[in-house]
Structure formats: C-alpha cells, structure tokens
Amino acid sequence: MDVLSDVLAAMRAGQPYAGRSTCRAPWGVRFPASDAACCHIVLQGGCTLIPATGTPTLLGVGDILFTGPRHAHTLVDQPGSPAIDFQPDKTSGYSVIELDIPGPGATTEMLCVCYTFDLVRQHPLLRSLPPEIHLPARVGDHNALRATVDMLGTELHQPRSGTDAILPALIDMLLLHVLRAWLDDSNLHADTGWATALTDPAVATALHLIHHQPENPWTVEKLATQAGISRATFAKRFTTAVGQPPLTYLTWWRMTTAARHLHRTDTPIHTIAHRCGYSSEFAFSKAFKREFGLPPNQYRRRHQPTTTRT
C-alpha cells in the first residue's frame, strides 16, 4: 500500500457506517464530539453547518462536508431549528443507517458516512486535519470523488446482492478521495505539512521505506541516501513536512505497527520484534513498555479481542 492508504488502515477502528437521510423542515441533527470522522453529501435541498466554534457554512446540492474526529457539529435546515442527537446503534452489526425526520417543510436528502479512528495513537496526518473540509460542488472538480458518491448513493438507495461487500470499499474510497482533494488543495497554499510530505519526492521516498521496511536498521544517513539528497537537507525537509525528525517518526511507526499486530493477530512476540526492527525480544519489550507503559504480552492480553486472526 502507499503511505496514505497505510495510515488509514493503521488508524481505523471498528466498522464504518453509512446511510441516506431524508429531513423535512424544520429539522436539525447534532453530531457529538467522538472518535468518528463524518462525511455529509447533500443530494437535494440544502442545509447549514453549525460548528461548535466558528462561522456557520451554507451547504448546497452536491457539496461535500468532512468533519474530523472530536469535532462536534450540527446540521440544520436553518439556524434556530430544533435538533435531535445522532445516536446510531453501533451494536446492531449493520453498516447502513437510515434517518428520516418528518416535517411540513422543504426536503433535504443527504448521504452520511462515519469512520471511527484510533485516537490513542493518532497519526500526525489525522492531527493535521482541519475541523471541517468543505468541497463545494463545481463542474469538473474531483470527478473521481463524484463518481464514488454516485456509486455509494446507488448502493444505499437500491441494495442488491453483494451490497454488503461493496459498501465498505466504497466508504473507504470516499474517505481517500476527500483526503486527496484536501491534500491537493493544501499543496497549492502551503509548503509544509503532510500535503508536502506526500508530494516531496525525498520525503515521500523516506516515508515509503519507513512504512514498508520498518525492520531495516535505518539511519538518517541511509534514508537521505535513498532519497538522493544530503543528510542535512533531508533531515530539515522531513522534520518540517512531517512534524517529527526522521528517527522519531521511525520509532513511532514501529511501535504503532507492533501494537497493531498485538491487537489484531496471534503473531509471536519475537516475530513482531523482528518485523519492527529489533534484534531481540528483550530490546523490543523494553522499547514497547517505554512507549505504552505495558510489556507486549500484557498489552496483548488487555487489548486483543477473544477471536483473533493471523
């Protein structure tokens, strides 16, 4: 996987869910601060975003709104309308949620998608997301994103054989296309941050190596050589873009990868240690405990579900 896909796979927690909402004025829906990020796409009518802080934003047909984790917000047909709390039943096992608010006024239809992230070890990319990303509908903009929205809307409106398998892939595609659009826009207006990290050839090369070969004994010198620039230039560019020095990020990613293996698999600890660049289980356990406050075996017992997979 590329770095962006890898980050999302590592940070995902739980099952995403999606649904179509039909709301008739007057209406409002409050989304509390949580570990979930949301995408709202207006299919018909319009509404207003009321953020926890900041200025309200008008949303029209075709507009896409992304709200980051831990950012409470409310959608209303107009300011002052009564609002209900969005409280999906996450224990039902279903990934499709329908919301219907009756009323005498104009109708607004939306697609709503929610993703839950592991915020205990939040990736720097997720930390850099703004509270809201508003992508207004413009002809010719983000064609792949619009196509994904159309496919997702069709599957939710007319479920068929295979819908349960298709929906998770479309939900992932939607999030990736939204983040791509944000990164592309950010790259036009800034020379630092993750938009730069993923497009700067030297930094992107180092990130790819760290993510996909964490077992290698990387040094700043070795990464700079692979990136094709001097050690000093590489260290400065990487730190500026990523927000951490190269070896600090390397250790963070190794520990994040190790925790994911311990949480999701039965892989022996000595194998995880080797995959994460440690020559001995003892050295790995010491580093892991320093990072998480628990040795690997205790972390596994505390966090791993009853049923595991390899």
| 185-241 pLDDT, tens digit each | 765 555 667 878 888 999 999 999 999 999 999 999 999 999 999 999 999 999 999
Number of compact structural domains in the chain: 2
For residue 219, the domain's CATH number is: 1.10.10.60
Residues 182 and 55 in one domain: yes
**Is residue 163 domain-shared with residue 223, that is, in the same domain?**
no
Residue 309 has pLDDT above 60, yes or no: no
Q: What is the pTM of this model?
A: 0.81
Tokens of residue 297, six digits? 């075996």
Q: Are residues 229 and 295 in the same domain?
A: yes
At 18, is the secondary structure helix, strand, or coil? Answer: strand
Q: Which of 125, 154, 189 is the last residue of a domain?
A: 189
By the 8 A CB rule, do 285 and 296 touch? yes
Boundary residue ending a domain (167, 189, 211): 189
Residue 172 lies in a domain: yes
DSSP string, 257-298: HHHHHHHH----HHHHHHHTT-SSHHHHHHHHHHHHSS-HHH
Does residue 266 belong to any structural domain of this protein? yes
Is 103 found in the same domain as 32? yes
Amino acid 30 reads R
SS3 94: coil
Q: Convert the pLDDT of each residue in 53-67 to its tens digit.
A: 889 999 999 999 999
Residues spanned by the domain of 133:
3-189
The least confident of 101-105, 211-215, 259-263 is 259-263
Rounded to an integer, the average pLDDT of 106-128 is: 84
- Residue 269: partners with Cβ closer than 8 Å, 6 or more residues away: 262, 281, 284, 285, 296, 297, 300
Tokens found for residue 6: 């890898």
CA dihedral defined by 89, 93, 94, 99, rounded to 10 degrees? Answer: 0
Residues 8 and 147 in one domain: yes
